[in-house]
Amino acid sequence: MATTKAREDIKNDLKTLKDDLKVGAREESARLREIAAETEARVRAKSDEVRERARDYYDQARVRGREYYDDAAERLDEAQRALVERVQERPVQSTAIALGVGVVLGLLLAGRRR
C-alpha cells in the first residue's frame, strides 16, 4: 500500500510538473511575442528613418546633379559660341585646321586596322 501511495504521489507530482511546464511555456511564449513585437516596431522605425535619410540624400544628389548638368551645358554653349565666332572670323584658317585634324585622325585610324 505504501508503494501505491508513493506511485500516486509521484504521478501527481509529475502531473503538477507537467501543468507547471505548460503554464511556464505559455508565459514564456507570451513574453517572447512581446519582445518580438517590440523588436519589430524598433526595426520598422529604424528602417523608416534610414529610408527617409536615403530619400534626403537622393534629393540632394539630384539637385546637385542638376546644377552640375546646367553648369556644364552653359559652359558647352559658351564654348560652342566662341568656336562659331572664331570660325566666322577666320573661315579659311579654320577649314585648313579641320582638314589637317581630319587627315591626322584618318591616318591614325587607318594605321590601327592594319
- pTM for the model stands at 0.49
pLDDT (0 to 100) of residue 61: 96
Whether the pLDDT of residue 48 is over 70: the answer is yes
Residue 1's SS3 state is coil
Q: Which of 114, 86, 82 is nearest to 98 (CA)?
A: 86
pLDDT (0 to 100) of residue 9: 87
Residues 6+ apart with CB under 8 A from 87: 94
Grid cell 551645358 is found at: 73
Whether the pLDDT of residue 114 is over 60: the answer is no
Tell me how many helices (H) and strands (E) the chain has.
Answer: 2, 0
Residues 6+ apart with CB under 8 A from 86: 94
Whether the pLDDT of residue 112 is over 80: the answer is no
Whether the pLDDT of residue 33 is over 80: the answer is yes
